[in-house]
Structure 1
């Protein structure tokens, strides 16, 4: 039996999530936020500093995938913490986020179906020319939740 993309993503979710935290801590530290592990409990407080560090960064084509992944981790963790949500694989067939790693199940948002694709947001952000504004983008996403 051939596994669906959603099934494959669910199988690899634990590995994805285990990688997320140490990579995010290292990234935030590399961007000058000390201590880097503050992002694990205080992502919202780290957002302005990260936004400033990345605002005028010149992103070489070879570095876009590296930055995309780390910004995606940050965006997801920012919303998971701020709205008491969780990372998971979307299993809603027909959803624009089907079989993707998303953040949702927010306990601080009245719409129980609200979810975001942090990597879609990160892709948009990384593709923007400098100056790019992470905090502004996060605020725009929040208004849509």
Structure 2
């Protein structure tokens, strides 16, 4: 954001855990024009700095590379058409839950942005069914 520029209004409305937001993470393959790819990310936790009151989100990035045989038992995969529509995703998506692929990002326009037609980075929220599946996957991962 340019010095003195007004931040977007969505900055004042941080997400909740288990919301899906549009963010720039991880960026390993910039587009041919050099820009980063805006992708869905699953918010696993939300933190607020006590001193600055800045908000931070722990996120797992989403990818359309499902790798179902290799990752179906490790990652949260949403592929049912009705569920995709309900949650706000346009394509089947896998949220990578590996600890090295989960990061804490500031809730800022440097790391998050709006998909076309959206007024904030917020895309949707996991349904109860997917919350249960996520809890099971995390429990399973923590017991190894």
**Same fold, TM-score > 0.5, yes or no:** no
Which structure has more relative contact order (CA 8 Å, sep 6+)? It is 2
More helix by share: 1
Report the TM-score range of the alignment, normalised by the length of the smaller protein.
under 0.3
